[in-house]
Chain A
Amino acid sequence: MNKMISSVSPHILSPRTTQGIMLDVLIALFPAGVASVIIFGLRSLLVIGVCVAVCIASELIFEKICKKENTLKDLSAVVTGVLLAYNLPVSIPLWQAALGSMFAIVVVKQLFGGIGQNFANPAITARIVMMTAFSKTMTTWTFPDAASSATPLALMFKGELNSLPSYTDMLFGFRGGCLGETCTIALLIGGIYLIARRVITWHTPAAFIGTVLVMSLIFEKAPVYQLMSGGLIIGAFFMATDYATTPCTKWGKVVFGIGCGLITILIRFWGTSPEGVSYSILLMNIFTPYISKLTRSKPLVGGGKQ
């Protein structure tokens, strides 16, 4: 008989892999992608394609140059590309989208050590950098409905509540905004899929969205519009649940979600910018190590009170 394999236990492993998790995220993002094409036209497909392609190429080239192992197979670069595209206006010049994608992968992800090691969400950080660098094109919105001229958040920011789109339009995404963030219903389907597949837990989105809801009720700021506007839904389900950059315990997730909700509200209600979801997630990313430390589960050492 030839040699037998010897390894440390356990000798059975769950079927779940990193690649499988990322594939689930992509599946969950799919409905919003379809919605973006219906709402904003075929150009959204082009933007998504460019972002994904550049993310893949950046990862491939970076790892080649640094002689690191190729990690394309884990699909995380594809997820970053899709998420970044969903956070851009459909009219974004393609070279800007490409630059942003490169920034996300090379600067935010790979320079910090690649998958699992980055402290900030690549897509969110890239979006914020682009907002600063390309402030004009990043806030030039395309409107599915010819009559509008501002996003719901901008309208609320200016106090023009009467010109807001209908609830149905908000739910199905026929409003101004980034290409993947407008269709609430598609994002919710994706979010529920992620929870059902146990890729994420309900704690972060519930805490995040719940905080925004409660605060907008308290300050009487059109709660339903607050929930469906801007990037709240996509942020709460897809960005604030990123593994590497958010806490892993359930209390950590709750604290993280509440923090995101509060910062979002602060920026939306009293800041100078109509939207604050991206900033809130990035800020909370920075707090993550501290939240993790504070909410770390205590080993069951016994003794003392039980």
Chain B
Amino acid sequence: MKLSGIRVLHRKNTADSIPQKLPLPETVVIPMSMHIGKPAVPAVKTGERVTVGQVIGTADGFISAPVHSSVSGTVKKFIEITMANGSKTNAVVIDTDGLQEICPSVKPPVVKDFESFVNAVRASGVVGLGGAGFPTFVKLGVKDLSAVKAIIINAAECEPYITSDTRTMLDKADYIAKGIDLLQKYLVPNRIIIGIEDNKKTCIDKMNKVAHGKDNVEVKVLPSVYPQGGEKVLVYNTIGRIIPKGGLPLDVGAVVINCTTLASIAEYVETGMPLVEKCITVDGSAVKEPKNVIAPIGTPLEKLFDFCSGFKAEPKKVLYGGPMMGIAVPSLDLPVLKMTNAVIAMDENDAKLPKTTACINCGECVNHCPLRLDPRAIAKAYKLDMCEELKNLCADLCMECGCCAYVCPAKRHIVQTNKLAKAKLNKYIREQKDKKEG
């Protein structure tokens, strides 16, 4: 059985661009919520001096993550910012002092067993850097270690344009190797698989070198078919198991971790420096000189584009992430987040929305859905408020990869409809549950 997907232009223009460090911005804006779960609680006050790596937000509750200062300077104020997805969050504005003094508390953590390893991951502030932003320590903190059969390192990087994972593999292969050692030591999987798309030859070579000499570590070369890096797709294409609906990879014995996430953990364990800066691919048809940039978290997006010599055309649409699943930002004042791996600026031609026409029932969306959903039927059931039918159609299985909308000749907003259908279905399921309990 083969999962469907689409072949998109890879546009990996920046694969050879060695990341350059961005000059320190004058101010950074660091949101308290850069992860799935409860926002962090601010741990500093206005006017307080902070240093690089200092905790400025402590994790609140189990699913949460701490936030660290990416600069040294003075806390100017707290503001409420509207994130690209429309949610509002508290953010710390820090005026930098240019010294980049490192916080005295930054020192390698003591890692001696599984528990101390998970605690270290928690303290590192690392979240799923593939884009999801799920706190990594929650994912790695498995209750029953014997359930972990395979750890899959997600190095597929299937989104067009993005090359930040590519650069991690090429520039931080040592940290990936150390990360693998940590995983083997503390999670004791039967095997570790590094999944890479076949369009990244240099990365494959590099990762083969990493895997060489390590027991039970293999590189799995995967076809460059989007969404190869989607968790469900990757797990199926590496270990041949299907994650059950509503379940986790662990239900089929797998833990999936992005390669940059893993390298960041290893870096923290070795140096004690938490996640305070990111390598970001800056590309798109409006960008004058696309390149990979290393920037402190909290840097306004505008500074990234300035560093790439600005725009060659007016940016009509700017994305956090790649063009298939990225989120359009309302303003360039928004900051670099933990899980920001790329910012794409599109010129007018790329950004303009084509006219939507009537569905011609060609079935392309059905035939290209990796999870074999029927977007036509979902759209119909959504429109007619048929929640039971949405349930039968498994609308909530959709991972919003966008293959359906990409191939649609009528240019229908299928992902948008699916999102709405999912929300309607989830509400219906909650109501059903309440009814049963009430």
Partner of B419, one of A8, A10, A114, A297: A8
Smallest CB gap from B411: residue in A: A13
Are B413 and A18 in touch, CB under 8 angstroms? no
What distance in Å separates the Cβ of A104 from its nearest Cβ neighbour in chain B? 17
Q: Does A163 contact B (CB under 8 A)?
A: no
Are A5 and B415 in touch, CB under 8 angstroms? no
Within 8 A of A (CB), among B209-258: 232, 240-245, 247, 251-252
Are B358 and A297 in touch, CB under 8 angstroms? no
Are A115 and B247 in touch, CB under 8 angstroms? no
Within 8 A of A (CB), among B298-334: 314-319, 323-332
Partner of B326, one of A4, A11, A298: A11
Q: Beta-carbon contacts of A17-30 to B below 8 Å, as 1s and 0s?
A: 11011000000000
- Given contacts A248-B362, A296-B374, whether A12 and B407 have CB atoms under 8 Å apart is no
Q: Does A168 contact B (CB under 8 A)?
A: no
Are B360 and A9 in touch, CB under 8 angstroms? no
Are A12 and B363 in touch, CB under 8 angstroms? no
Q: Once bound together, how far apart are the Cα atoms of A4 and B319, in whole Å?
A: 11
> Which residues on the B side are within 8 Å of A306 (C-beta)?
240-242
Are A115 and B360 in touch, CB under 8 angstroms? yes
Query: Chain B's interface: helix, strand, loop or mixed, by majority?
Result: loop
Within 8 A of A (CB), among B1-38: 3, 6, 8
Q: Once bound together, how far apart are the Cα atoms of A303 and B419, in whole Å?
A: 24
Q: Does B400 contact A (CB under 8 A)?
A: yes
Q: Once bound together, how far apart are the Cα atoms of A179 and B241, in whole Å?
A: 54
Are B243 and A18 in touch, CB under 8 angstroms? no
Within 8 A of B (CB), among A51-80: 71, 74, 76
Question: Which of under 10, 10 to 19, 20 to 34, or 35 or more describes the interface residues of B?
Answer: 35 or more
Smallest CB gap from B325: residue in A: A9
> Which residues on the A side are within 8 Å of B327 (C-beta)?
9
Q: Once bound together, how far apart are the Cα atoms of A4 and B331, in whole Å?
A: 7
> Which residues on the B side are within 8 Å of A132 (C-beta)?
none
> Which residues on the B side are within 8 Å of A249 (C-beta)?
363, 366-367
Instruction: Give A residues with C-beta under 8 Å from B.
Output: 1-2, 4-14, 16-18, 20-21, 71, 74, 76, 114-117, 243-244, 247-249, 296-303, 306
Q: Once bound together, how far apart are the Cα atoms of A116 and B358, in whole Å?
A: 7
Q: Beta-carbon contacts of B150-171 to A below 8 Å, as 1s and 0s?
A: 0000000000100000000000
> Which residues on the A side are within 8 Å of B243 (C-beta)?
302
- Given contacts A8-B419, A248-B361, whether A14 and B406 have CB atoms under 8 Å apart is yes
Partner of A13, one of B393, B400, B406, B416: B406
Are A116 and B409 in touch, CB under 8 angstroms? no
A-B CB contact pairs (8 Å), 15 listed: A2-B314, A4-B329, A7-B317, A9-B323, A9-B402, A9-B405, A10-B323, A12-B8, A18-B357, A21-B360, A243-B360, A298-B372, A299-B373, A301-B244, A302-B242
> Which residues on the A side are within 8 Å of B324 (C-beta)?
9-12
Are B371 and A6 in touch, CB under 8 angstroms? no
Are B371 and A300 in touch, CB under 8 angstroms? yes
Are B328 and A16 in touch, CB under 8 angstroms? no
Smallest CB gap from B7: residue in A: A14
Are B393 and A300 in touch, CB under 8 angstroms? no
The listed residue with most B CB atoms (<10 A of its CB), out of A1, A8, A16, A306, is A8
- Given contacts A8-B413, A301-B394, whether A13 and B354 have CB atoms under 8 Å apart is yes
What distance in Å separates the Cβ of B193 from its nearest Cβ neighbour in chain A? 18
Smallest CB gap from A11: residue in B: B323
Q: Once bound together, how far apart are the Cα atoms of A296 and B388, in whole Å?
A: 18
Are A4 and B318 in touch, CB under 8 angstroms? yes
Are A303 and B330 in touch, CB under 8 angstroms? no
- Given contacts A74-B357, A116-B358, whether A17 and B325 have CB atoms under 8 Å apart is no
Are A21 and B242 in touch, CB under 8 angstroms? no
Q: Once bound together, how far apart are the Cα atoms of A299 and B330, in whole Å?
A: 35
Partner of A300, one of B242, B350, B357, B405: B242
Partner of B358, one of A4, A11, A14, A115: A115
- Given contacts A116-B358, A296-B374, A297-B374, whether A10 and B402 have CB atoms under 8 Å apart is yes
> Which residues on the A side are within 8 Å of B360 (C-beta)?
18, 21, 76, 115-116, 243-244
What distance in Å separates the Cβ of A18 from its nearest Cβ neighbour in chain B? 5
Are A297 and B406 in touch, CB under 8 angstroms? no
> Which residues on the B side are within 8 Å of A12 (C-beta)?
8, 160, 323-324, 350, 406
Are B394 and A299 in touch, CB under 8 angstroms? yes
Smallest CB gap from B352: residue in A: A5
> Which residues on the B side are within 8 Å of A298 (C-beta)?
372
Q: Does B259 contact A (CB under 8 A)?
A: no
Closest A-B pairs by Cβ, 10 of them: A248-B363, A10-B402, A302-B242, A302-B244, A299-B394, A303-B244, A301-B245, A8-B416, A116-B360, A297-B372
Q: Does B351 contact A (CB under 8 A)?
A: yes
> Which residues on the A side are within 8 Å of B123 (C-beta)?
none
> Which residues on the A side are within 8 Å of B416 (C-beta)?
8
What distance in Å separates the Cβ of B116 from its nearest Cβ neighbour in chain A? 34
> Which residues on the A side are within 8 Å of B245 (C-beta)?
299, 301-303
The listed residue with most B CB atoms (<10 A of its CB), out of A7, A115, A297, A299, is A299
What distance in Å separates the Cβ of A164 from its nearest Cβ neighbour in chain B? 39
Are B247 and A302 in touch, CB under 8 angstroms? yes
Within 8 A of A (CB), among B367-390: 367, 370-374
Task: Knowing that A10-B323, A12-B406, A116-B361 touch, tell me 13 more A-B residue pairs with CB under 8 angstroms.
Answer: A7-B413, A11-B326, A12-B160, A14-B6, A14-B406, A18-B410, A74-B357, A114-B358, A116-B358, A243-B363, A300-B232, A302-B251, A303-B242
What distance in Å separates the Cβ of A226 from its nearest Cβ neighbour in chain B? 30
Are A248 and B367 in touch, CB under 8 angstroms? yes
> Which residues on the A side are within 8 Å of B406 (C-beta)?
10, 12-14
What distance in Å separates the Cβ of A248 from its nearest Cβ neighbour in chain B? 2
- Given contacts A4-B328, A249-B367, whether A14 and B407 have CB atoms under 8 Å apart is yes
Partner of A5, one of B6, B244, B326, B328: B328
Are A300 and B372 in touch, CB under 8 angstroms? yes
What distance in Å separates the Cβ of A21 from its nearest Cβ neighbour in chain B? 6
Smallest CB gap from A293: residue in B: B377
Are A71 and B242 in touch, CB under 8 angstroms? no
> Which residues on the A side are within 8 Å of B244 (C-beta)?
301-303
Q: Does B359 contact A (CB under 8 A)?
A: yes
Q: Does B275 contact A (CB under 8 A)?
A: no
Q: Once bound together, how far apart are the Cα atoms of A298 and B397, in whole Å?
A: 12
Smallest CB gap from B368: residue in A: A14
Partner of A4, one of B315, B353, B397, B408: B315
What distance in Å separates the Cβ of A22 from its nearest Cβ neighbour in chain B? 9
Q: Once bound together, how far apart are the Cα atoms of A8 and B394, in whole Å?
A: 21
Q: Once bound together, how far apart are the Cα atoms of A16 and B410, in whole Å?
A: 9
Smallest CB gap from A298: residue in B: B372
Q: Once bound together, how far apart are the Cα atoms of A17 and B355, in whole Å?
A: 10
- Given contacts A5-B351, A16-B409, whether A299 and B371 have CB atoms under 8 Å apart is yes
